[in-house]
Structure 1
Amino acid sequence: MKNQYFGDYRDMFKYDLIQEAMKKNKGFKRFSFIPMLTDFKECNDGNKRYYNSEKIEKRPGSGNTDLVGYLRDYNDKVRDRKNRDLRHIRDYFGAYINIEIFEPDEPMQGKYFVNKNRSLYFQAIPDIYLESALVFVDPDNGIEVKNSSKKHILYQEIRSLYERMSDDSVLMIYQHFPRQKHEEYIDRRKEELGQRSGSKLKPLWISDNEIIFFFLSKGQEANNIISGVLSDYSGKYPEKCRNG
């Protein structure tokens, strides 16, 4: 995740889905956001901000008028991408749910996520963030690839978080679609994720054909609730969403 991405229209999908999951699973005491924050880069990624346009119609999250209004107002107020700050999502969620955003101790870790300090970063995540929580990890690109970088979360890191989580917690992971056939990619990635995370339950997923969110549950009850959330959510946006 980069601060410059905050407020992109994909955030409608991301934060609306999180809000739905938190609302429907009463066992969640907190939303724990692990952003894997990386430094600014001059590019046009994460710059789709059409909140005053028909381009957002029928997109996942577009029906959440409070969230859309918040993101629109934020983008109108903070136009310079270098000044955007994902921590401002607290301003929105504070009225709805308990949110924790992991920020590593700068003298130990530094402000940004980097490869050489990967282990320190994940070890520093407080245990309380993983208790009765929806734990969302948001790397730039997604899950481990052959030549992983700071843009990816490694399978060993996923497994470590999963093993540390309480039985009523759920791990949610951001994944950007690579240039592969979507169905084949989801099937392969889901199989790998299930095996290498150590999960006894099959991963769940939801996608808008641009990005995917994978979910790993430890307990059957939480898994059933998330499965229902994803099914209902896809039903709200049938032209864009699918899940499995």
Structure 2
Amino acid sequence: MKNQYFGDNRDLFKYDLVCHLMRNITHLRCFTFIPMLTENDDKGYGKERDRSKARAGTENTELKEFLDKFYDESKRDVTRIKDYFSIKGIRMRMYKESVTLGSDNRETYFRNIEPGFLTQSLVLVDPDIGLGFNNPDKEHLTYYEARELFEKMDNSSILMIYQHFPRKIHRQCVKDWMREFSKEVVVLPLFISDNRIIFFLIAKDPGLKEKLHESLLKYKERYQKLRTDQSEF
């Protein structure tokens, strides 16, 4: 996550989905946000703010109005999302909110996540790009790190991971990700996608996984361009 991205259409989808899950899966007590914050760059990302082109979150007028306050890049600060969830009455914990992730602190960044952050929580990990393999960089979460988080969280929590689509055939991308999840994390995730980004979601408890699946399908009913099955790509 970079501050320059804050408030774009991906965030509209992301935070609206978080609100939906927190409201619909009632035993979740907290939204835990692990931002994997990195420094801004000059690549121009974060400019997708035309709400008419957004594919999810558009019915959430309050969230749109809140995020629109940060159209000016100088005002963008991901920690401000705490204000929105406070207004909505959703308990939120943000892990190392002002710490920039780098090679020098990566190991301790993940190792020091306390058990309380992973208890009865929706745990969102938000790398710049998504999942990656052996040599970790600041833009990726490795499958090993995903597995470590999954193993540390309790049976009443859900792990949610942001993933950006590369410039490849999306159906093959999803197939590859599912294969690697099965191999490296030893679990098949549920997912929801607007065909631009995708969120992977995993739960340990079968009953919780079923509630999660039902909640994702309910969200998809509101935004029918979304996809929750590989056959839809």
| TM-score category (smaller protein) | over 0.9
Alpha-carbon spacing, 1:3–1:146, altered in 2? closer, same or farther (3 Å): same
**Counterpart check, 1:103 vs 2:101:** no
What is the CA RMSD across the aligned residues, in angstroms?
A: 1.6
What aligned pairs does 1:81-230 form with structure 2 within 5 A after superposition?
A: 81-96=73-88, 97-103=90-96, 111-145=99-133, 148-199=136-187, 202-230=188-216
Q: Deviations over 1:61-107 (max 9, x none)?
A: 001111111111332xxx1x244110100111112210000017x8x
The reply on whether 1:243 has 2:228 as its aligned counterpart is yes
Is the Cα contact below 8 Å between 2:133 and 2:143 reproduced in 1? no
d(CA) in 2 for partners of 1:46, 1:232: 28
Contact 2:6 2:70 in 1 (8 A): no
CA distance in 1, matches of 2:220, 2:171: 16
Alignment partners' CA distance in 2, 1:197 and 1:116:
25
The Cα shift of 1:156 comes to 1.2
Query: 1: CA distance between counterparts of 2:179 and 2:119?
Result: 26
**Partner residue, 1:60:** 56
TM-score by length of 2: 0.93
> Separation in 1 of the partners of 2:20 and 2:83?
17
What's the CA shift for 1:142? 0.1
Q: Point out where structure 2 has 5 or more consecutive residues left out of the alignment.
A: none
Describe the superposition over 1:122-142 as per-residue Cα deviations: whole angstroms up to 9, x where unpaired: 011121000000000000000
Letter in 1 for 2:53: K
**What is the CA distance between 1:194 and its match in structure 2?**
2.6
Rounded Cα–Cα distance in structure 2 between residues aligned with 1:14 and 1:65: 14
Cα distance change of structure 1 residues 145 and 82 upon mapping to structure 2, 3 Å threshold:
farther
How far is the alpha carbon of 1:167 from its aligned partner? 0.4
Aligned length: 228
What is the CA–CA distance in structure 1 between the aligned matches of 2:116 and 2:135, rounded to whole Å?
Answer: 32
The Cα of 1:148 is off from its aligned counterpart by 4.2
* 1:13 paired residue number: 13
Q: Percent identity among equivalent residues?
A: 39
**Post-superposition CA distance 1:24-79 (Å, at most 9, x none):** 1111110000000001111210111224xx334xx20001111111111332xxx1
Separation (CA, whole Å) in 2 of partners of 1:31 and 1:218 = 17
Per-residue deviation at 1:117?
A: 2.0
Q: Is the 8 A contact 2:5 2:45 kept in 1?
A: yes
* In structure 1, distance between residues paired with 2:175 and 2:128: 21
Query: Quick check: 2:134–2:142 contact (8 Å CA) kept in 1?
Result: no
Q: Return 5+ residue gaps in structure 1 as ranges.
A: none
Q: TM-score, normalised by structure 1?
A: 0.89
Shift in Å at residue 146 of structure 1? 6.4
Q: Match of 2:208, SS?
A: helix
